[in-house]
């Protein structure tokens, strides 16, 4: 099956990969707010991306939370709430101006001692 992703689809996938856990309402606010039926549009796009295997989802939260395909986060992990909190701070910052360089969380380098 051949498919073509729109620029918005690519932006959504990149955003999910960057923030590691994104809820549906945040996606509506950031990518679909200008549409006539933003929630319906978001739901249909996210179901399509999920069925194509480009994102993962967990329905343990309401609304649904979307995760990267290669996420090392379990679908019931408490870290999801941590990443959603980071996303909330980002959305608050966006009310003033959209921050360009966003580093969600830096993983500390672990030194191996032999």
Report H helices in the chain.
Answer: 7-19, 24-27, 38-51, 79-94
pLDDT for the residue 64: 93
Under 8 Å between Cβ of 76 and 58: yes
- Measured from the Cβ of residue 24, the count of other Cβ atoms closer than 10 Å reads 19
Nearest C-alpha neighbor of 22 from the set 71, 52, 110: 71
Q: Which two tokens stand for residue 110?
A: 């672990």
> Tens digit of pLDDT for each residue in 33-91?
999 999 999 999 999 999 999 999 998 988 999 999 987 888 888 889 999 999 998 88
> How sure is the predictor about 104, in pLDDT bands with cuts at 50, 70 and 90?
low
C-alpha pair distances (Å), 48 with each of 17, 42, 69 = 17, 10, 14
pTM assigned to the model: 0.82
């Amino acid at each position: 099956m051949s498919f073509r992703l729109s620029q918005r689809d690519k932006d959504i996938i990149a955003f999910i990969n960057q923030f590691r856990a994104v809820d549906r309402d945040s996606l509506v606010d950031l990518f679909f707010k200008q549409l006539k039926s933003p929630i319906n549009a978001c739901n249909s796009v996210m179901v399509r991306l999920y069925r194509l295997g480009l994102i993962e989802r967990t329905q343990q939260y309401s609304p649904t939370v979307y995760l990267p395909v290669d996420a090392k986060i379990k679908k019931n992990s408490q870290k999801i709430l941590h990443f959603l909190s980071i996303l909330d701070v980002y959305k608050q910052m966006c009310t003033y101006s959209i921050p360009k360089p966003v580093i969600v969380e830096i993983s500390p380098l672990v030194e191996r001692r032999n």
